Amino acid sequence: MTSLTRADVAAMIDHTLLAPEATPEQVNDLIAEARKLGVYAICVSPSMLPVRAPGLVVATVAGFPSGKHHSLVKGAEARLAVDSGAAEVDMVIDVGAAVAGDYAAVLTDIITVREAVEDRAVLKVIIESAALTDEAIVGACRAAEQAGADFVKTSTGFHPAGGASAHAVRLMADTVGGRLGVKASGGIRSAQDAAAMIEAGATRLGLSRSAAVLDGFPD
Protein backbone atom coordinates (compact mmCIF):
# COMPACT_ATOMS: atom_id res chain seq x y z
CA MET A 1 0.00 0.00 0.00
CA THR A 2 2.94 2.34 0.59
CA SER A 3 3.54 2.64 -3.16
CA LEU A 4 0.09 4.18 -3.63
CA THR A 5 -0.27 7.87 -2.88
CA ARG A 6 -3.40 9.73 -1.91
CA ALA A 7 -3.47 11.39 -5.35
CA ASP A 8 -3.06 8.02 -7.13
CA VAL A 9 -6.10 6.60 -5.39
CA ALA A 10 -8.20 9.78 -5.64
CA ALA A 11 -7.79 9.66 -9.42
CA MET A 12 -9.52 6.26 -9.40
CA ILE A 13 -12.54 7.18 -7.26
CA ASP A 14 -16.19 7.59 -8.20
CA HIS A 15 -17.40 9.51 -5.13
CA THR A 16 -20.86 8.07 -4.71
CA LEU A 17 -24.25 9.03 -3.27
CA LEU A 18 -27.00 6.61 -4.25
CA ALA A 19 -29.05 6.51 -1.04
CA PRO A 20 -32.81 6.59 -1.78
CA GLU A 21 -33.26 9.44 0.70
CA ALA A 22 -30.53 11.64 -0.82
CA THR A 23 -31.52 15.29 -1.22
CA PRO A 24 -30.31 17.95 -3.68
CA GLU A 25 -28.47 19.61 -0.79
CA GLN A 26 -26.59 16.37 -0.10
CA VAL A 27 -25.67 16.10 -3.77
CA ASN A 28 -24.26 19.62 -3.62
CA ASP A 29 -22.28 18.61 -0.55
CA LEU A 30 -21.02 15.53 -2.42
CA ILE A 31 -19.79 17.70 -5.29
CA ALA A 32 -18.03 20.09 -2.91
CA GLU A 33 -16.35 17.21 -1.09
CA ALA A 34 -15.36 15.59 -4.38
CA ARG A 35 -13.61 18.76 -5.46
CA LYS A 36 -11.83 19.02 -2.13
CA LEU A 37 -10.66 15.41 -2.29
CA GLY A 38 -9.56 15.58 -5.92
CA VAL A 39 -11.47 12.48 -7.00
CA TYR A 40 -12.16 11.51 -10.60
CA ALA A 41 -15.97 11.44 -10.66
CA ILE A 42 -19.19 11.71 -8.74
CA CYS A 43 -21.94 9.11 -9.06
CA VAL A 44 -25.53 10.09 -8.29
CA SER A 45 -29.01 8.72 -8.92
CA PRO A 46 -30.49 9.60 -12.32
CA SER A 47 -33.34 11.55 -10.71
CA MET A 48 -30.77 14.02 -9.35
CA LEU A 49 -29.57 14.98 -12.84
CA PRO A 50 -28.63 17.40 -14.21
CA VAL A 51 -26.03 18.63 -11.74
CA ARG A 52 -23.39 21.33 -12.02
CA ALA A 53 -20.02 19.79 -11.28
CA PRO A 54 -17.31 21.54 -13.33
CA GLY A 55 -14.04 19.65 -13.36
CA LEU A 56 -15.64 16.37 -12.35
CA VAL A 57 -16.94 13.50 -14.44
CA VAL A 58 -20.63 12.87 -13.73
CA ALA A 59 -21.73 9.24 -13.50
CA THR A 60 -25.12 7.72 -12.79
CA VAL A 61 -26.85 4.33 -12.67
CA ALA A 62 -29.45 2.45 -14.69
CA GLY A 63 -31.63 -0.47 -13.64
CA PHE A 64 -30.44 0.19 -10.11
CA PRO A 65 -30.24 -1.57 -7.73
CA SER A 66 -32.14 -4.77 -8.65
CA GLY A 67 -31.35 -5.10 -12.35
CA LYS A 68 -34.83 -6.53 -12.86
CA HIS A 69 -36.03 -3.65 -15.04
CA HIS A 70 -36.85 -4.45 -18.66
CA SER A 71 -33.82 -3.91 -20.88
CA LEU A 72 -35.66 -1.24 -22.87
CA VAL A 73 -36.41 0.63 -19.63
CA LYS A 74 -32.73 0.48 -18.68
CA GLY A 75 -31.82 1.78 -22.11
CA ALA A 76 -34.30 4.64 -21.93
CA GLU A 77 -33.12 5.53 -18.42
CA ALA A 78 -29.51 5.53 -19.55
CA ARG A 79 -30.23 7.62 -22.64
CA LEU A 80 -32.16 10.20 -20.62
CA ALA A 81 -29.31 10.36 -18.10
CA VAL A 82 -26.77 11.02 -20.83
CA ASP A 83 -29.06 13.67 -22.33
CA SER A 84 -29.09 15.21 -18.83
CA GLY A 85 -25.31 15.41 -18.63
CA ALA A 86 -24.08 12.03 -17.41
CA ALA A 87 -20.77 11.00 -18.98
CA GLU A 88 -20.78 7.51 -17.47
CA VAL A 89 -23.56 5.00 -16.79
CA ASP A 90 -23.30 2.07 -14.38
CA MET A 91 -26.01 -0.43 -15.38
CA VAL A 92 -27.13 -3.45 -13.37
CA ILE A 93 -27.55 -6.69 -15.28
CA ASP A 94 -30.41 -9.10 -14.69
CA VAL A 95 -28.50 -10.94 -11.97
CA GLY A 96 -30.93 -13.85 -12.08
CA ALA A 97 -30.07 -14.46 -15.73
CA ALA A 98 -26.41 -14.78 -14.78
CA VAL A 99 -27.27 -17.06 -11.85
CA ALA A 100 -29.23 -19.26 -14.28
CA GLY A 101 -26.32 -19.32 -16.73
CA ASP A 102 -28.32 -17.51 -19.39
CA TYR A 103 -25.47 -15.37 -20.64
CA ALA A 104 -27.27 -14.72 -23.93
CA ALA A 105 -29.90 -12.81 -21.94
CA VAL A 106 -27.16 -10.93 -20.09
CA LEU A 107 -25.56 -10.07 -23.43
CA THR A 108 -28.85 -8.78 -24.87
CA ASP A 109 -29.49 -6.70 -21.77
CA ILE A 110 -26.11 -4.98 -22.00
CA ILE A 111 -26.30 -4.50 -25.78
CA THR A 112 -29.64 -2.73 -25.36
CA VAL A 113 -28.10 -0.15 -23.02
CA ARG A 114 -24.92 0.15 -25.09
CA GLU A 115 -26.98 0.92 -28.19
CA ALA A 116 -29.16 3.37 -26.26
CA VAL A 117 -26.23 5.54 -25.19
CA GLU A 118 -24.11 4.77 -28.28
CA ASP A 119 -20.60 6.12 -27.79
CA ARG A 120 -21.71 9.17 -25.82
CA ALA A 121 -21.00 7.61 -22.43
CA VAL A 122 -18.69 5.19 -20.69
CA LEU A 123 -20.71 2.06 -19.87
CA LYS A 124 -19.96 0.11 -16.71
CA VAL A 125 -21.71 -3.19 -16.11
CA ILE A 126 -22.58 -4.15 -12.53
CA ILE A 127 -22.64 -7.94 -12.23
CA GLU A 128 -23.32 -8.23 -8.45
CA SER A 129 -20.36 -10.54 -8.04
CA ALA A 130 -21.13 -11.59 -4.45
CA ALA A 131 -24.32 -13.26 -5.69
CA LEU A 132 -22.54 -15.21 -8.45
CA THR A 133 -20.38 -18.29 -8.70
CA ASP A 134 -16.94 -17.93 -10.24
CA GLU A 135 -18.31 -19.46 -13.43
CA ALA A 136 -21.11 -16.90 -13.56
CA ILE A 137 -18.70 -14.02 -12.87
CA VAL A 138 -16.63 -15.10 -15.87
CA GLY A 139 -19.71 -15.56 -18.04
CA ALA A 140 -21.12 -12.14 -17.15
CA CYS A 141 -17.77 -10.44 -17.78
CA ARG A 142 -17.45 -12.12 -21.16
CA ALA A 143 -20.94 -10.94 -22.06
CA ALA A 144 -20.07 -7.39 -21.01
CA GLU A 145 -16.99 -7.41 -23.21
CA GLN A 146 -18.87 -8.88 -26.16
CA ALA A 147 -21.57 -6.23 -25.77
CA GLY A 148 -19.07 -3.40 -26.00
CA ALA A 149 -19.01 -2.27 -22.38
CA ASP A 150 -16.10 -0.22 -21.09
CA PHE A 151 -15.96 -1.56 -17.52
CA VAL A 152 -17.19 -4.45 -15.43
CA LYS A 153 -18.15 -3.58 -11.87
CA THR A 154 -18.53 -5.80 -8.83
CA SER A 155 -21.55 -4.57 -6.95
CA THR A 156 -24.35 -2.13 -6.30
CA GLY A 157 -23.55 -2.02 -2.60
CA PHE A 158 -27.22 -2.78 -1.90
CA HIS A 159 -27.31 -6.58 -2.30
CA PRO A 160 -27.58 -8.70 0.86
CA ALA A 161 -24.93 -11.09 -0.51
CA GLY A 162 -22.32 -8.37 -0.01
CA GLY A 163 -20.07 -6.09 -2.00
CA ALA A 164 -16.65 -6.28 -3.60
CA SER A 165 -14.07 -8.93 -2.77
CA ALA A 166 -10.46 -9.14 -3.87
CA HIS A 167 -11.18 -12.62 -5.23
CA ALA A 168 -13.97 -11.39 -7.48
CA VAL A 169 -11.96 -8.40 -8.66
CA ARG A 170 -9.01 -10.63 -9.54
CA LEU A 171 -11.25 -13.04 -11.45
CA MET A 172 -12.91 -10.18 -13.31
CA ALA A 173 -9.58 -8.58 -14.16
CA ASP A 174 -8.18 -11.88 -15.39
CA THR A 175 -11.28 -12.43 -17.55
CA VAL A 176 -11.24 -9.04 -19.28
CA GLY A 177 -7.46 -9.00 -19.51
CA GLY A 178 -7.01 -5.25 -19.49
CA ARG A 179 -9.40 -4.77 -22.42
CA LEU A 180 -12.05 -3.39 -20.05
CA GLY A 181 -11.67 -1.51 -16.81
CA VAL A 182 -12.64 -3.12 -13.51
CA LYS A 183 -14.55 -1.14 -10.91
CA ALA A 184 -14.65 -2.38 -7.34
CA SER A 185 -17.60 -1.07 -5.36
CA GLY A 186 -19.50 -2.03 -2.23
CA GLY A 187 -18.11 -2.31 1.28
CA ILE A 188 -14.78 -0.57 0.65
CA ARG A 189 -14.37 1.43 3.84
CA SER A 190 -10.65 1.67 4.54
CA ALA A 191 -7.33 2.27 2.83
CA GLN A 192 -6.53 -1.40 3.37
CA ASP A 193 -9.72 -2.42 1.56
CA ALA A 194 -8.98 -0.07 -1.33
CA ALA A 195 -5.37 -1.21 -1.64
CA ALA A 196 -6.47 -4.85 -1.73
CA MET A 197 -8.88 -4.11 -4.58
CA ILE A 198 -6.26 -2.21 -6.56
CA GLU A 199 -3.72 -4.98 -6.01
CA ALA A 200 -6.31 -7.48 -7.30
CA GLY A 201 -6.75 -5.47 -10.50
CA ALA A 202 -9.32 -2.73 -9.88
CA THR A 203 -8.84 0.33 -12.07
CA ARG A 204 -11.72 2.31 -10.55
CA LEU A 205 -13.23 2.41 -7.06
CA GLY A 206 -16.81 3.25 -6.12
CA LEU A 207 -16.75 4.81 -2.65
CA SER A 208 -19.21 6.61 -0.43
CA ARG A 209 -16.59 7.10 2.30
CA SER A 210 -13.86 8.49 0.10
CA ALA A 211 -12.35 10.85 2.69
CA ALA A 212 -11.85 8.08 5.25
CA VAL A 213 -10.26 5.82 2.65
CA LEU A 214 -7.94 8.51 1.29
CA ASP A 215 -6.81 9.50 4.78
CA GLY A 216 -5.05 6.13 4.95
CA PHE A 217 -2.74 6.88 2.01
CA PRO A 218 0.38 9.06 2.09
CA ASP A 219 0.53 12.37 0.26
Choosing from 14, 90, 94, 150, the catalytic residue is 90
H helices present in the chain, as ranges:
6-10, 24-37, 71-83, 95-99, 103-117, 134-147, 166-176, 191-200, 210-214
- Rounded to the nearest 5 degrees, what angle is found at the Cα of 200, between the Cα atoms of 39 and 168? 105
Choosing from 74, 124, 150, 153, the catalytic residue is 153
CA distances 21 to 18, 66, 103, 138, 186, Å, are 8, 17, 34, 34, 18
Are 203 and 14 a contacting pair, CB within 8 Å?
no
Question: Nearest-CA neighbor of 101 among 69, 140, 148?
Answer: 140
Is residue 90 flagged as an active site residue? yes
In the three-class reduction of DSSP (H, G, I as helix; E, B as strand; rest coil), residue 148 is classed as coil
Choosing from 109, 124, 150, 183, the catalytic residue is 183
Q: Which residues are catalytic?
A: 90, 153, 183
